[in-house]
Chains A and B, each alone.
Chain A
Amino acid sequence: MNEQMNRQMMNQTRQMNRRQLLNHINQISFAVDEVKLYLDTHPCDNEALEYFRKMSRQRNLALKEYASAYGPLTVDTAEDSCAERWNWINEPWPWQEGGC
C-alpha cells in the first residue's frame, strides 16, 4: 500500500519542473512545520499524527527527487545528487536569483 502510494507520488513529482517541485516542497514542508508545532501541545491527537506521517513521507520523497534532478537542499539528500562534483555550492542560495 505504502509502496504503491510512494510510487504514485514519485511519478507526480517527476512531471514537475524545477520551480513547481520547489513550490511543492515549500508547501508540504510548511504543512510538516505547522502540524509539528501543533503536536508539541497536542501529542495524542491521532488525526494530526496521521497527517504528520503523510506529509513527512511526501516531503522526504520530494526532497530526494529534487536532489537527484537539481542538486541537494539538505545534507541528507546530497547523496541522491549523483554528480561528479560537490553540488551544494553550485546551486543558487535561497536569497539569490533562481534560489528559494
Chain B
Amino acid sequence: MWNYEKRLQYPVKITQTNPKIAQIIITQFGGPDGELGASMRYLAQRYTMPYKEVTGVLTDIGTEELAHLEMICAIVYQLTKNLSPEEIERSGFAPYYVDHTLALWPQAASGTPWSATTFQSKGDPITDLNEDLAAEQKARTTYDNILRLVKDPEVCDPIRFLRQREIVHYQRFGESLRIVQDDLDSRNFYAFNPEFDK
C-alpha cells in the first residue's frame, strides 16, 4: 500500500525552459539506469528476501526512487513547459514532440522505451544486492554525466541532490550485503541460496 504526499522530496523550481537538456535528463525517468527501473528492481526483489533488514531497505529505497522519478518528471515538465513550435523545431525536440506532445513518457535519452530488461530480480540475496550496488553507481555516473552538460543552477541543484541519494543508497545496500554475508558460512558464501534452499 502506498500513500501520496503532495510535495517533492526536494524542491524543483526551473524558470528557463531548455528542451535540449530535457531530452538528456529524461533518461533518468525511463533510461537503463533511471529511477523507474531502480524502483521496480527493489520493489520486485523484496518479496522473497529472507532478511528483515534487507526487506526494509528494499521497500524504503524502492519507495524513495518513486519520489525521485517524480522529481525527474517535474524537471522535464518545467524544462519543456509552453514551448512554441519554433522552439521545438530549433532544439531538436520534434521527434519526441510528434509522439508525446509535451507529456511525460518513460524513455532513455536515445529514445529507447523503458524496459524491464534493464534490471534483474534473480532470487538470490548476494546476486541481487550486488546488482543493487552496481545500479546505484550507474545512476551516480549518469548524474555526473548530466552535471557536466547542464549549466543552469536551477537544474543542477535538484540533480545534485539526486546524485547524493545514490551514494547514500549504495551505503545502505553495502550494509545489507554485510548483514547477509555475516549470516552465511564464511568458508563458502555460495553453499546454498537462502531465498530458495531450506
Our verdict on whether A and B bind, yes or no, reads yes
Residues of A that sit less than 8 Å from B by CB: 22-23, 25-26, 29-30, 33-34, 36-38, 40-43, 72-76, 88, 91, 93-95, 99-100
Q: How far is the CB of B116 from chain A (nearest CB, A)?
A: 25
Q: How far is the CA of A42 from the CA of B56 in the complex (A)?
A: 11
* A-B pairs with beta carbons under 8 A, tally: 72
Kindly state whether residue B74 has any CB partner on chain A within 8 Å: yes
Residues of B that sit less than 8 Å from A by CB: 3-13, 53, 56-57, 60-61, 64, 70, 73-74, 77-78, 168-169, 172, 175-176, 179
Q: Given the known inter-chain contacts A41-B179, A95-B77, please indicate yes or no for A100 contacting B7, CB distance below 8 A.
A: yes
- If over half of B's interface residues share one DSSP class (helix, strand or loop), that class is named, otherwise mixed; here it is helix
Q: Mind listing 8 A-B residue pairs with CB under 8 Å?
A: A33-B60, A37-B64, A40-B60, A41-B53, A42-B175, A95-B12, A99-B6, A100-B74
Q: Given the known inter-chain contacts A37-B172, A40-B172, please indicate yes or no for A95 contacting B74, CB distance below 8 A.
A: yes
Give chain A residues whose Cβ lies under 8 Å from the Cβ of B73: 95
A25 near B70: Cβ-Cβ < 8 Å:
no
- B8 touches which of A41, A72, A95 (Cβ 8 Å): A95
Return the chain A residue nearest B77 by Cβ: A95
Return the chain A residue nearest B76 by Cβ: A95
B176 near A41: Cβ-Cβ < 8 Å:
yes
Q: Given the known inter-chain contacts A94-B74, A95-B78, please indicate yes or no for A37 contacting B60, CB distance below 8 A.
A: yes
- If over half of A's interface residues share one DSSP class (helix, strand or loop), that class is named, otherwise mixed; here it is helix
Q: How far is the CA of A38 from the CA of B10 in the complex (A)?
A: 19
Return the chain A residue nearest B15 by Cβ: A97
Q: How far is the CB of A58 from chain B (nearest CB, A)?
A: 16
B53 near A100: Cβ-Cβ < 8 Å:
no
Q: How far is the CA of A42 from the CA of B53 in the complex (A)?
A: 8
Give chain A residues whose Cβ lies under 8 Å from the Cβ of B8: 26, 94-95, 100
- B6 touches which of A23, A38, A42, A73 (Cβ 8 Å): A73
Give chain B residues whose Cβ lies under 8 Å from the Cβ of A95: 8, 12, 70, 73-74, 77-78
Q: How far is the CA of A9 from the CA of B127 in the complex (A)?
A: 46
- B175 touches which of A25, A34, A41 (Cβ 8 Å): A41
- B10 touches which of A25, A26, A43, A76 (Cβ 8 Å): A26
Give chain A residues whose Cβ lies under 8 Å from the Cβ of B6: 72-74, 88, 91, 93-94, 99
